[in-house]
Chains A and B, each alone.
Chain A
Amino acid sequence: MGVAQRAFKPNVLRGVVLYATLTVIATCALFPILWAMSGSLKTAGEVTMPTLFPAHPQWSNYRDVFAVMPFWRMFFNSVLYAGCVSIGQVFFCSLAGYAFARLRFRGRDTLFVLYLGTLMVPLTVTVIPQFILMRVAGLTDTPWAMIVPGLFGSAFGTYLMRQFFRTLPDELEEAAILDGCSPWQIYWRILLPHAKPAVMVLAVLTWVNVWNDFLWPLLMIQRSSIATLTLGLVRMQGEYTARWPVLMAASILILLPLLLVYAVAQRAFIRGIAVTGLGG
């Protein structure tokens, strides 16, 4: 009994400390969202007041979002761009990751390090050359400008997939070789079905990245009909005025699909973070 009590007490204490710490961190992370949610239900006069709960929740702010911006059109555009880029990233990064992890060719590791080195170049350095490329190609102010640059993979995605493919046992690939598979069949039929956690991580991260991207759409897109939600959000603000509660309501609506994507992919996402070594 005494031994059991001694073993029990530190576990309970550790649990309390752990949960208290996690609660504080989660509150800090969630507070801006809660504040936006609160603001989205306030009146224009109430929005600047430091109260979390509105006196009279203004659900009409959400209705007004659809009146002041072509929400569904922009929602469709954002889904289209994020979906296409995510699919492209998953396909090309997994192919490149497979090649860097599994195929043997001269200069493989050097090429990989060079490719990885592009991660060190900030977006601000490449944004103007990319803009010029798009203009020369005649793609500015078209949906292609949002899809093409990210479609063919990225150093980060390739690194992520390579790390995952390296964790799979060699025997799996060798068994497939003896079963008569070509490199493409090994990738497509054997290794990719195992890469679901890594694919989920890459897809979710890419989706969030494209969904939240503001700078690139701002540079590329002029027409409202092909604009993204983030552009729509900015265009809701006038030069001198802004309807903050409606803006907050729009922010919450834009956030919901991301929460949905994460909720659906959560388990695979966390597993992927663990197996690809991305976690701290």
Chain B
Amino acid sequence: MASVTFEQATRRYSSADRPAVDRLDLSVGDGEFVVLVGPSGCGKTTSLRMIAGLETVDSGRILIGTRDVTDADPKDRDVAMVFQNYALYPHMSVAQNMGFALKIAGIAKSEIRERVSDAAGLLDLEPYLDRKPKDLSGGQRQRVAMGRAIVRRPQVFLMDEPLSNLDAKLRVQTRNQIAGLQRRLGITTVYVTHDQVEAMTMGDRVAVLRDGVLQQCAVPRELYRSPVNMFVAEFIGSPAMNLVTLPVVDHSVALGDWSIPVPREITDTTAGLVIGIRPEHLDVGGTGVEMQIDMVEELGADAYLYGRIAGSDNTFGQPIVARAGGQDPPPRGSRVRLHPQPGHLHFFDLDGHRLL
């Protein structure tokens, strides 16, 4: 096991006008589970492939442990990768797939058998060892791909959206299995996903990327509570955080008939700002700003109210989402009052950076 370090690592494609990964500085601790998350094209998979050696590093360095692997061959990096489509060898059985890397490395057959058997036991794959990948279900294939990585006992696991081909129920189940397995084996893991729920539930830390640039890397709770910018604030959490741009007047901003006091150190520097509040931090009912409900999304335990809030001219314009209890949510077309829970407001400047 070892740490993984990106030092100003950059990857440029000749056909693109900006780097796919731009001066990435990130350190993954020994035995840590770090998730790279972001929208399509943010550079998360490219970053993972840079660790694997499947992408060249145009500038900067990548270290595994203390060893600089920037120019090392993939086979010399001691990493194992689980691909999005698993990339199992269709002409080989499950056992052959799992033992192939060891066979190439010239390890004795008896040891290969033993290690494959151990991994198969860990992943409940013993009954399928003689089957070909085409005879397995999606979940079983995913476990074979994991097994193929485990038998190698690498220093680092790399996983590229390994759950994206599974159905929702199996995804949750496998997500817990992978996280549990990683903790049991203690192998440093870098995991790529575009699913923020997957990122928040699996990672010791989560790194959010956008346009090849690292936005924030923190433990899931910190990402949720203190996003460093509007992009992270919107990306983490579902439904996304409500963001409203407002002018500052007399050290406060007004959202409809709701006046929000703003600390003086902020109002002294800007004439406008963006207020952020998550749907779950808006209390529905009682007093507060009025909301016209356009749609109700009932999820059982909760219901999300999608609508618009009343502006100063008493017209409903600003879109907003609020969470209500699932028992008896207000109906579509009705009007409710929203009140923000104290201490859950986020302030961003007009460029999107966090102010407090």
Contact = CB atoms under 8 A, between A and B. Distances in A.
Contacts of A175: 81, 83, 87-89
Interface in A30-52: none
A180 B75 contact: yes
A154 to B, nearest CB: 27
Is chain A's interface secondary structure helix, strand, loop, or mixed overall?
A: helix
A107 interface: no
A2 interface: no
Contacts of A190: 89
A177 interface: yes
A180 B91 CA distance: 18
A193 B97 CA distance: 14
B54 interface: yes
A65 B104 CA distance: 55
Interface in A161-175: 169, 171-172, 174-175
Contacts of B88: 175
B52 A171 contact: no
Contact of B80 (A177, A178, A194): A178
Size class of the contact patch on chain B = 20 to 34
B75 to A, nearest CB: 4
Contact of A180 (B81, B84, B89, B101): B101
Contact of B90 (A171, A176, A178, A194): A194
B252 interface: no
A190 B91 CA distance: 8
Nearest to B104: A180
Given A171-B85, A185-B104, A178 B91 contact: no
A194 B91 contact: yes
A62 to B, nearest CB: 43
Given A193-B91, A194-B90, A178 B52 contact: yes
Interface of B is mostly: loop
Interface string B182-193: 000000000000
B345 to A, nearest CB: 45
A139 interface: no
A177 B74 contact: yes
B83 A174 contact: yes
A171 B83 contact: yes
B100 interface: yes
A177 B75 contact: yes
A181 interface: yes
A169 B87 contact: yes
Nearest to B91: A193
A172 B88 CA distance: 7
A219 B84 CA distance: 57
Interface string A170-211: 011011111111000100001001100000000000000000
Contacts of B299: none
Contact of A181 (B53, B84, B91, B104): B104
A174 B54 contact: yes
A178 B88 CA distance: 13
B87 A177 contact: no
A178 B81 contact: yes
Nearest to B81: A178
B55 to A, nearest CB: 10
Most buried by A among B79, B83, B84, B105: B83
B211 to A, nearest CB: 24
19 contacts: A169-B87, A171-B85, A171-B87, A172-B89, A174-B81, A175-B81, A177-B53, A177-B75, A178-B52, A178-B54, A178-B74, A178-B79, A178-B101, A179-B75, A180-B101, A181-B75, A190-B89, A193-B91, A194-B91
Given A171-B84, A172-B89, 13 more contacts: A171-B83, A171-B85, A171-B87, A174-B81, A175-B87, A177-B74, A177-B75, A178-B74, A178-B80, A178-B81, A180-B75, A180-B104, A181-B75
- The list of the 4 closest CB pairs from A to B, nearest first, reads A171-B87, A179-B101, A175-B87, A180-B75
